[in-house]
Each structure stands twice: as C-alpha cells, then as structure tokens.
Chains A and B, each alone.
Chain A
Amino acid sequence: MKLSMGPQHPVTSHFRFILDVDGDAVLNFEWDVGYTHRGIEKMAENRIYIQNIPVVERINSYCDAIGTTLGYVEVVEELTGIEIPERAKYLRVIAAELNRIASHLYAVSLVGISAGFETMLMWTINDRELILDLLVKLSGQRITYTYPTIGGVRWDMPDGFKEDALKRLDYLEKRLEDYYKMMAWNRTFQMRFKNVGILKPSDAVKLGIVGPNLRASGVKADVRKDEPYEVYDRFDFEVPTGKNGDSFDRASMRLKEIEQSIVILRQALKDIPKGPIKGSPKGSKIPPTAPRGEAYSRVESARGEFGYYLVSDGKSKPYRLKISTPSFRNLPALPHLCRNVPLGDIPVIFITFDYIPLDVDR
C-alpha cells in the first residue's frame, strides 16, 4: 500500500514521504520535496552582490543564518580578493559558533519531541533563548542576523558582551550534563534510538552525507579542520565522531558538538584583537563588480558543509550561483536506510538527520 506522510505532519514539517508499506513494515521510501521552493538561485542572478546576502540567508533562516551567509560572503571575497580585518574574522567565528549551539539545541529539542520526551523540548528551547539573546546583542536580530557582510561584519561587540557570553557559556556547560542525563544516559531513550537506522561509514561517504551525520558514522570530516576558513586553524578543538552510526549517535553528536563550540568560543573571546571590523583602511568597502572567473567556498554550518559555487562574467550581478546545501546532500540517506523498517522507526530516523525543508528546497 502507498502511504503518504506529510506535508502536514508534526514530524515531517514541509516534507512529504511516499511510503510503500506492508502491514507495519516500510518497504520503500521516496521523497517528495519542494513545498518551500523559492528559486533563490535564480533570484541571486538578478540582484547585485550585496543585495544577495539577505536573500541567501532565507535558505536556512530560522536555524543557522550565520553559517549560510558566511559561505556566500566568503565566495564573493575570494573572487574579488577583498581582505577582511582580523577582528572581523574573530567576530564571524563567535557568531557562527553561537549560532551552531542555538541550531543544535533546536535539533535536540526536535529529537526529544519526536520520541515523546517533552521535557527535552522545554529545556533546550528555553536554553536556546540564552544564546539567541547574545546574538541579539551582537546583531540586533533574533533569527535573521545578516551579520557577516562582504569585507567584514556589520556590528562590533557591545560593551560587556564578553563577560556576559562567558557567564552564559558556563551555565550552558553545566546544563549539558543535564541533557546527557536526560538523553544520552537515559535507558528509555537508548532503547528507542540505539541500533535504529545504522548508516555505515562507507555508505555515508558513497551517498555524499555531510556534517554531524557523516561524523556520527565515524568519518572524521569537518571543514573547520580540513580546510580552515576565517581563523579556525588557531583554535584547539576536537572533532567528535560516533561509533555505530545509528540514530543514537547522530542525536548525541549534537551535544558533543555544543561542547566543542563552547571550547572554541572561550578561546575566541579571549584572543580577539582590537581593530576595525570591516573594509580596507582606505575606506573603499565593496567593489561594485566582481572580476570574471569562478570560485567555490566551503563552510561548516550547523547541519554540515555549505558549498557556494559562484561564476562571474565581470558584471555587478552573479552569472550563476549554485548553492549546495547540507540537507539536500543528506537526502539520499533516508531512502537508503528506510527499507524493511517498522513504520514507527521512520520519525526516529528522520529527525536525527536534522533536515530543514527550506534548506533542501532553496
């Protein structure tokens, strides 16, 4: 029997799954995506470079806006050859890591609610606000920051930001133990998530899976380490990996990454130098055109690697901007995993991949 799940469903959000079911067993899984398609790649061809920053931000606005815009401004900077000031690099890292924490807390909350752990949703969403408050102080916005700009960042840290941030990170670190107790060390949670949806490392690479989902399968691949952008090569942090590649590993991977983000943030807040935050010293900020050529930038956002491929014909607008998003690249995983599994496992497997419909559809 064909069973349609979504696009109005508490777990699937704006996705629709077409499932082949026999009794309780799912035989085949097929995606139906595109409900939030906005044609951002086409829109980008009709706007000048600086106008495109808020446009591409809408790819992934409610979770990881900094990671999304960072990839775009980097690809433009690479093509135009703009140097950005040291302080701006640190501020970008700080904003990106704060956003990563917020995004991962959101992901953990969804994992909780999909399995009926409502406390997990309440706690993580509540603590996410602490981080969003910091981003409000930095950028003035709660969700869509438009913080990185071509040639730097838009705003400097306000007074007292550093102390405030460190205090909140200390609190969050203590809270992480509560999350572990509630989730990773919880027997009931383990029974529901362990050995469900095992993705082998060889399959994960073959299917092109990225981000925490790839690392949960035991493959050590992180753009921050492999191809350090901004100032990530100056920080001492680890890339956590999972052992089994099951839903439990994928879910707890987010908590481990929050730990590492706190480690990075503490170093960045300590080392941040003084100086300007955007533009060259001479005052010229953004050139109106990019030279003829092409560039490809890679950025590790919360969900994984963002790739921007920019082709320029020397005019003021991009000739072509291809955006390779992490959720889109994670799509092949579900049809691969959801064969001969019970129907009740579908939400568990789906939610641990942390898909965002906006991210897939663009």
Chain B
Amino acid sequence: MEDRVVEDVKASFPDDVLEIDVQRRGRVSISVKRDRIYDVGLFLRDKLGFDHIASVSGVDYIDKKEFEVVYHAWSIDKKILAALRTRIPRDNPVLKSLVDVWEGALYHERETWEMFGIKFEGHPNLSLLLLPEDWEGIPPLRKDFILPKRPQE
C-alpha cells in the first residue's frame, strides 16, 4: 500500500519530488520543491485520499540557514500517514498556505507562523494565537531564541 502511494506521487510529479521513501509501515515521507507543495498537497488529498490533517510542524535548521515545514496528513481509508515536507530559506521564510487543501490546517499554520515567523501566503488570519498580544522579539521556537537560564544554587 505504501509503495503504491510512492509510485503514484513519483509518476505524477517526476521533477518536483526531491526525496520520497517509506519510513516504516504506515509512514511515507515526501520531500518536494518549495513552489510545488500546494499541488502535491492537492494531489494527495484528492487522488490518494489523505484527507485528515494531523499536524503542521516547523523545524529550524539554523546551521543550514533553512526552515523545514512538515505537513502530516492521515488517510482514513488507507491508514497511512504522509509527511509532506519542504525546505525554505531562513532569511525569506514564505510559503504558500495549504488551508485551501486542508481546512483543518488553519490553526496549525497560525501557530507555526507565531512560533517560527514563517509567513503562509493566502492564510486568512495570521495573528498571534498562543503568545500574549504584546509579544515582541524573535519567534520563540527558533533556535536563536535562548531560554533564560534557571537559577543555580
């Protein structure tokens, strides 16, 4: 089943998929080019049945000056979790929003925006969700945000 998904994605997007593999039973990882993530997401939802969004995560690779954005989508029929991922440069963190693909990604993307400063183009409401409304400074989940030291005895 997982191999079928890999083959279908490869056949439809031969030039846009950078890396694709089956991590284990029920886990498929798909790494795509930044400007094609919307189309691959739409294909996953409509053609392969990955209809249930599970999470949107940002990962800060500060050494490579990159962010990775990972969309985890679950297929209720196939019982497979697909990780759709792309890398974006740290100095220009902009990505097309996938809210049109998975409506449930609304709050996930909003959280990723406030925690990493990744701007999702086309998102209807990019405002602070969890942080206090007078928050200033670098987004807290970036690696260059250092937590204050705990008091030492």
A206 to B102, CA, bound (A): 7
- Identify B52's interface contact among A41, A42, A205, A332, CB under 8 A: A205
A361 at the interface (CB under 8 A from B): yes
**Given A206-B104, A322-B57, A33:B130 Cβ within 8 A:** yes
Q: Which residues of B contact A34 (CB under 8 A)?
A: 128-132
Chain B: number of interface residues, binned into ranges: 20 to 34
Q: Which residues of B contact A267 (CB under 8 A)?
A: none
Cross-chain contact A309 with B55 (CB below 8 angstroms): yes
B106 at the interface (CB under 8 A from A): yes
A221 at the interface (CB under 8 A from B): yes
Stretch of B12-20, B35-43, B75-83 lying at the A interface: B75-83
**Given A46-B147, A309-B57, A227:B103 Cβ within 8 A:** no
- Per DSSP, are chain A's interface residues mostly helix, strand or loop, or mixed? mixed
Cross-chain contact B130 with A332 (CB below 8 angstroms): no
Encode contact with B along A95-121: 1 for CB under 8 Å, 0 otherwise. Answer: 000000000000000000000000000
Cross-chain contact B147 with A208 (CB below 8 angstroms): no
B93 at the interface (CB under 8 A from A): no
Q: Which residues of A contact B104 (CB under 8 A)?
A: 206-209, 329, 332
Encode contact with A along B107-122: 1 for CB under 8 Å, 0 otherwise. Answer: 1100100010000000
A207 to B70, CA, bound (A): 18
Cross-chain contact A205 with B129 (CB below 8 angstroms): no
Tell me which residues from 30 to 48 in chain A have a Cβ below 8 Å from any Cβ of chain B: 33-34, 37, 39, 41-43, 46
A17 at the interface (CB under 8 A from B): no
B44 at the interface (CB under 8 A from A): no
Encode contact with A along B90-110: 1 for CB under 8 Å, 0 otherwise. Answer: 000000000000111111100
Q: Which residue of A lies closest to B25 (CB)?
A: A227
Q: Which residue of A lies closest to B70 (CB)?
A: A309
Cross-chain contact A208 with B54 (CB below 8 angstroms): yes
Cross-chain contact B72 with A332 (CB below 8 angstroms): no
A221 to B75, CA, bound (A): 10
Q: Which residue of A lies closest to B143 (CB)?
A: A45
B66 at the interface (CB under 8 A from A): no
**Given A33-B130, A37-B131, A206:B51 Cβ within 8 A:** yes
**Given A205-B76, A309-B70, A322:B107 Cβ within 8 A:** no
A307 to B54, CA, bound (A): 7
Q: Which residues of A contact B81 (CB under 8 A)?
A: 296, 298
Interface, chain A (partner B; CB < 8 A): 33-34, 37, 39, 41-43, 46, 205-209, 219, 221, 226-227, 296, 298, 305, 307, 309, 311, 319-320, 322, 324, 328-329, 331-332, 361-362
User: Can you list 28 A-B pairs with a CB-CB distance of less than 8 A?
Assistant: A33-B129, A33-B130, A34-B128, A34-B129, A34-B130, A43-B147, A205-B52, A206-B104, A207-B103, A207-B104, A208-B54, A208-B102, A208-B104, A221-B76, A227-B26, A296-B27, A296-B81, A309-B70, A320-B60, A322-B57, A324-B54, A324-B72, A324-B108, A328-B107, A328-B108, A328-B111, A331-B107, A332-B103
Told that A42-B140, A208-B105, A329-B104 touch, could you supply 5 new A-B pairs with CB distance under 8 A? Answer: A33-B129, A207-B103, A298-B54, A311-B59, A319-B59
Interface, chain B (partner A; CB < 8 A): 26-27, 51-55, 57, 59-60, 70, 72, 76, 79, 81, 83, 102-108, 111, 115, 128-132, 140-141, 145, 147
